[in-house]
Amino acid sequence: MDNNKKIMFLKMITIPALLVLALGSGRLVSSGQEQAVNDWENPRVFAINKEAPHATFISFPDLKQALSQDPGQSSWYKSLNGRWKFHWVPKPADRPLDFWRPGYDDSRWSEIEVPANWEINGYGIPIYVNIPYDFAPRNPQPPRIPHDNNPVGSYRQKFTVPDDWKDKEVFIHFGAVKSAFYLWVNGQKVGYSQDSKTPAEFRITPYLKPGENLLALEVYRYSDGSYLECQDFWRISGIERDVYLYAVPRTRFRDFFARTTLDENYRNGRLELEVEVQDGNEAPEVRTRKLQVFHLSASILDDRGNQLFLEKKTFTLKPGDRKVLNFKGEIPGVKPWTAETPNLYTLCLELAAEKSLPLQATTRKVGFRTVEIKNGQLLINGQAVYFRGVDRHEHDPWTGHVISEESMVRDIKLMKQNNINAVRTSHYPNHPRWYELCDYYGIYLKDEANIESHGMGYGEKSLAKNPDWGPAHLDRIRRMVERDKNHPSVVIWSMGNEAGNGINFEECYRWIKQRDPSRPIHYERAELAWNTDIYCPMYPSLEELEDYARTNPARPLIMCEYAHSMGNSTGNLQDYWDLIEKYPVLQGGFIWDWVDQGFAKKNEKGELFWAYGGDFGPPGTPSDDNFCCNGLVAPDRQPHPALWEVKKVYQPAKFELAEPVNPEQAEIKVKITNKYDFLSLSPESFAIRWKLLKDGQPVADGSAACPTIQPWKAGEIRVKLPAEILKADGEYFLNLGLHNKDDLAQGLVPADHLLASEQLEIKKSQAVPKESLAAAARSNQPAAKLPKLRIKENKPNNKEITVSGQDFILTFNRSEGRLTSYRFQNVELLKDGPLPNFWRAPTDNDFGNRMPVRLKAWREASLSRQLKSFTINKEKTGAVLIRVDFFLPSVESNHTVIYQVERDGTIRVHNEFQPANPDKLPEIPRLGMLMGLADGFDQIEYYGRGPHENYCDRKTSALVGIYRTNKEEQVIPYVSAQEFGNRTDTRWLVIKNKNGYGIKFSGLPLFEFSAIPYKPEDLTLNRRGEKHFVDVPRRNNFYVTIDLKQMGVGGDDSWGARPHPQYLIKPQAYSWSFTLKPVK
């Protein structure tokens, strides 16, 4: 390390330390320590000859070129992405020691794409663990790294430098390299770097030569820096982001910080611009040169290219010197930046020599906005905002941690279309392009430093409390802040994740506050200590949220993680937001998390599946199974049903009846609350559409002019209905939708997109008396005109009894107490008749709360029952009554099923469940009956909540209506096999074959159902993540569950939380009924 750079570097580190870096080697020699240690096992060595961090920008020769804002258009930019020579070894002792020599023979080396992760390309093993260190899962001893398990990748690449760069300073930029690396150019050692998620830049001017040059990199999978990179994601390595060269004049601006805020009235823009200029001339003959005069101009352009601000500074600079120039200005009537209104302006910088010849120029998009905390609320531009957020890992199922711009835009598009307005960059600074896209499209960012030492715990061993690790903590935070400081989308700095709290984070907090007081700081492990501006708990209960809100706190509460969306999850979300909107200090949170971190892989049959922890490497490879799959979307970004719930709960408008509906009047008054923080609803920009349903069928529709409503204010519309329409008996619902008339989010949300929806119950159907239930299930054809039912016992064993009528035959097995055949017009409808069922295949959340163990008695009750009695009788009405009494030994309960067979083939199925000792029983997973339909019955139509999968604690987004679906659409391929496919509040269900034959199930009054080509037992695993979804063979027929209720899926967390009490099924007496009827 250059002595001047070393001194400057140490000044930037505010934590005192005795540190001397041996020139060139980067080895530590401190007092009391004589022996040399590896740089990659030394917490004090994390940067040798590495450039100080700076804002993201590329220089251009003049402002005209710079206005393109495309690095590829700059003659001073050269990408080195592409095919590189590559050599991999499993441990450092095996690495080629002199591969960096220009004459080294690499003809037998492989090639690898840059950027790329080694493990995705067949070099080493991808490892997924959550908390432990994958290289030391049981007994971590920082800063030690195992020498027998630390793969090393050696890279070589040849390049040429453009001729017109001769008089320039040339730098090489590595966007991200995991986890540590050395760099050589033309056989000369240049430097060393750690921190795998921020850029490493080196000045390589002295090492270049005319013509072809050689670049060599030695990358270590593990280093002491890995102790600060214990994030809950795939542990993979390599060059993960872009590599490029860039040139700048020797006298240049090196960095700039544009503080673009608003005045006290939030109307005018304020620019406070700090530009660091320096002269890089170091030759002795140049250093004696007299002072030179330079000009630096700073301007602001609007989106039409109009210049709103211009200021020029003239200054002198000695060779080798640096200065900081400050610009100030006010832009009247500026359009503020928010996630809803991402208004951007162009900042232009141009450096010129004394004769006004341009030397260097660049442009960056900036947005004017103010972030502050007042009265316990986080305000943006003076307005309290809700963070309707998600946590997002950078993940691609085919390329690992190498993320394309296409993937980033796809994520933002899905987020904007589903009302997500904020992202936490969990748990590291993301690709620089991500921030530019969030500036442009409008996403609030909580920018998180690449620090997590979860595997060390939070006690005295925490690295947060160890001063030896202080400089490394601060370096990572400083590099994030300096890189991302000009982005309006970054509204909160996060110092890291799950790394304990102590003196190191206290010093980091102080440094950020000194460097950038314009943004609040978040750190979850600080809890309520002084070194966090926001209380940001993980997975708090509703009770904990309310307890905090009632204390009138000075700090807002924004959950950094909540609603753990692992597998079939994300229940209770509406409950959380009902509470959040009750207390001003509660301002939302970030759902964990956005995408399932599965990798694309094929099994022995050639079937594609999403691989997770344990799917790579030999037995014993560290793994936390499928705990990396917690996303609202699948690895390929196909939405899970939970995303529709998120869209509904996060929606920007609320609809409710303004007054009770009078069926005598053909008008419904609806109150609308605008839940945008900045956008006003108006008839020019938004449309409201409505549809009236009677018994699930549309009977009227139309539109209403959207009233002008300011943010968080309410207005009213009047829905005009046809006269007399509500007088007829039936069940009426009014569906309402808010649509945008023009594109939003720069076109990612197209015009006429459904932004918000609601279903209002207008009128209930006339109640059917209990005694009429059976009659309601019968055909309209008078019973007297139908032949009488015939009962026949099949000899010789009398095990089977048939009940037959016109066009149908029912067969009961009296030894099993079940209906075994249901034939209509000689077409078999059933494969397995209905039996009581109390079990669901465990979800990921169920495994987390030990449901398979706690509730196993209900699984046994579904599989094993004792037949107590089977009786059959004819009623005076002509119906046949079959009564079956079961005893369920595992739960010491009685269960009775009564089949009432009518002359038209309708069967009323009545269930009575009676536990002997309910106080000794746990909650019931589900309460219903399971049956298998005959093959080919896979066309579904139902009247209930849909169209997507829904559960009692995740149904806000599922509106009541008539929906049609089929076998393929019913299958929800969660990454790991588990319960799926439920529908709630069902009135009736019809399942047919291609010829139109089928069964109609009717609720008395409502039921839940699933109809999928799996039994619950097929999807029941012994442990979480034991099987992928594709591993479970699909049956040829549908298995249908008709349930009184299934318990909720939960989602507060996936390691202990159960569904909320109101979504559980208490062990008590229950009775319920439904009907089956053949249809054609």
Q: Is residue 5 part of a domain?
A: no
CATH number at residue 752: 2.60.40.10
Mean pLDDT of 1057-1063: 98
Same domain, 830 and 891: yes
Cα–Cα dist 201/153, whole Å: 19
Tell me the C-alpha to C-alpha distance, in Å, between residue 118 and each of 86, 113, 167, 601, 1024. 10, 9, 37, 16, 28
Mean pLDDT of the chain: 93
Is there a domain that residue 23 lies in?
Answer: no
Phi (first) and psi of residue 153, to 5 degrees: -110, 130
Question: How far does CA 716 lie from the centroid of its chain?
Answer: 35
Quick one: 72 and 214 in the same domain? yes
Do 113 and 126 lie in a common domain? yes
**What pLDDT is stored for residue 1031 in this prediction?**
96
Over residues 245-267, mean pLDDT: 97
Q: Are residues 563 and 666 in the same domain?
A: no
| 620 or 256, greater pLDDT | 256
pLDDT of residue 968: 86
Tell me, yes or no, whether 504 and 569 share the same domain: yes
**The 490-494 sheet, strands edge to edge:** 521-522, 490-494, 444-448, 422-424, 387-391, 586-591, 557-562
Write down which residue in 315, 338, 366 finishes a domain.
366
Q: Give one DSSP letter per residue of 713-737, joined into a string.
A: -EEEEEEE--TTTTTSSS-EEEEEE
Query: Which amino acid belongs to residue 278?
Result: Q
- Partners of 914 in beta bridges: 894
Q: Map tokens 């499993």 to a residue.
A: 90
Look at residues 307, 338, 366 and tell me which one is the last residue of a structural domain.
Answer: 366
d(CA 830, CA 821): 6
Smallest CA-to-CA distance from 464 within 478, 475, 448, 452 is with: 452
> What is the tens place of the pLDDT at every residue in 298-349?
999 999 999 999 999 999 998 889 999 999 999 999 999 999 999 999 999 9
Distance CA 543, CA 301 (A): 49
Percent of the residues in the chain that have a pLDDT greater than 70, as a whole number: 94
DSSP string, 31-96: TT--S---GGG-TT-SEESPPPP--S---BSSHHHHTT--GGG-TTEEE--EEEEEEEESSGGGS-
Residue 792 has pLDDT above 60, yes or no: yes
Residue 857 parent element (H or E): helix 856-863
Catalytic residue flag (residue 561): yes
SS3 785: helix
Please count the other Cβ atoms lying within 10 Å of the Cβ belonging to residue 123: 21
SS3 433: helix
| 639, 658: one domain | no
At 90, which CATH number? 2.60.120.260
Residues 636 and 777 in one domain: no
pLDDT digits 0-9 by tens, 522-569: 999 999 999 999 999 999 999 999 999 999 899 999 999 999 999 999
At residue 783, the pLDDT reads 52
Give burial (CB, 10 Å; 0-12/13-18/19+) of 206.
exposed
Average pLDDT of the residues in 635-639: 98
Model confidence over 1004-1033: pLDDT tens digits?
999 999 999 999 999 999 999 999 999 999
Asked if 325 and 277 touch (Cβ cutoff 8 Å), the reply is: yes
Average pLDDT over residues 583-606: 97
Q: Is residue 605 part of a domain?
A: no
Best CA proximity match to 920, nearest among 811, 1067, 791: 1067
Residues in the chain: 1080
The region of weakest confidence among 573-587, 716-730, 825-839, 1055-1069 is: 716-730
Spatial separation of the C-alpha atoms in residues 677 and 336, rounded to whole Å = 13
- The distance of Cα 599 from the centroid of its chain, to the nearest Å, equals 16
Q: Which helix (H) or strand (E) holds 272?
A: strand 269-279
The band of 29, judged by pLDDT with boundaries at 50, 70 and 90, is very low
Greatest C-alpha distance within the chain = 119
DSSP codes of every residue in 467-520: GGGHHHHHHHHHHHHHHHTT-TTEEEEE--SS---SHHHHHHHHHHHHH-TTS-
**Confidence (pLDDT) at 550:** 96
Note whether 245 and 255 are same-domain residues: no
376: in domain:
no
Whole-angstrom Cα Rg for the chain: 34
Which amino acid type is present at position 530?
A: W
Q: How far is CA 640 from the centre of its chain?
A: 11
What b/e sequence results for 887-902 when a residue is b if at least 16 CB atoms lie within 10 Å of its CB, and e otherwise? ebebbebbbbbbbbbb
Domain membership of residue 937 as a residue range: 773-1079
Q: Which of 297, 176, 313 is nearest to 240 (CA)?
A: 176
Cα torsion through 257, 263, 264, 267, rounded to 10: -140
User: Other C-beta atoms within 10 Å of 366: how many?
Assistant: 22
Structure tokens at 190: 């240049």
SS (H, E, C) 1008-1045: EEEEECCCCCCCCCCCCCCCEHHHCCCCCCCEEEEEEE
Q: Is residue 323 part of a domain?
A: yes
φ, ψ of residue 652 in degrees (nearest 5) = -90, 15
Residues 271 and 161 in one domain: no
435 in the same domain as 557: yes
Neighbours of 1073 (CB within 10 A): 21
Q: What kind and span of H or E run contains 929?
A: strand 926-933
Please state, in angstroms and rounded to a whole number, the distance separating the CA atoms of residues 801 and 901.
13
CA distances from 332 to 266, 267, 382 (A): 10, 7, 17
Same domain as 895, residue 873: yes
Q: Which of 52-56, 166-170, 782-786, 901-905 has the weakest average pLDDT?
A: 782-786
Q: How far apart are CA 849 and CA 110, in angstroms?
A: 48
Q: Note whether 1012 and 980 are within 8 A (CB).
A: yes
Number of domains in the chain: 5
Domain assignment present for 492: yes
CA distance 876 to 567: 52
CATH number of the domain to which 494 belongs: 3.20.20.80
Nearest to 776, CA basis, from 1080, 1004, 1007: 1004
Which of 366, 390, 419 is at the close of a domain?
A: 366
Percentage of the chain lying above the pLDDT 90 cut: 90
Average pLDDT over residues 518-525: 98
Which position among 201, 240, 482, 498 bears the catalytic label? 498
Cβ proximity of 213 and 185 under 8 Å? yes
- How far apart CA 358 and CA 248 sit, in angstroms, is 12
Question: Domain of 916: which CATH number?
Answer: 2.70.98.10
The pLDDT-based confidence of 287 (bands split at 50, 70, 90) is low
Segment holding 438, helix H or strand E: helix 432-441
The model's confidence at residue 356, banded by pLDDT at 50, 70 and 90, is confident
Is 819 found in the same domain as 692? no
User: Is 684 tagged catalytic?
Assistant: no
User: Do the Cβ atoms of 153 and 86 come closer than 8 Å?
Assistant: yes
Cβ(338)–Cβ(381) below 8 Å: yes
Could you give the CA distance from residue 992 to residue 1078 in angstroms, rounded to a whole number? Answer: 10
Closest by Cα among 225, 704, 757 to 453:
225
Residue 770 has pLDDT above 90, yes or no: no
Residue 74 is assigned to a structural domain of this protein: yes
Catalytic residue among 169, 201, 524, 561: 561
Domain assignment of residue 621, yes or no: no
How buried is 347 (Cβ within 10 angstroms: 0-12 exposed, 13-18 middle, 19+ buried)?
A: buried
In the 8-state DSSP scheme, what is residue 12? H
Contacts of 21 (CB under 8 A, 6+ apart): 1, 6, 27, 28, 45, 48
Residue with tokens 């829904």, as numbered in its chain? 950
- pLDDT at 776 exceeding the cut of 80: no
Under DSSP, the state recorded for 752 is T
Number of separate helices (H) and strands (E) present in the chain: 15, 59
pLDDT of residue 15: 35
Q: Determine whether 527 is exposed, middle or buried from the number of CB atoms within 10 Å of its CB (0-12, 13-18, 19+).
A: exposed
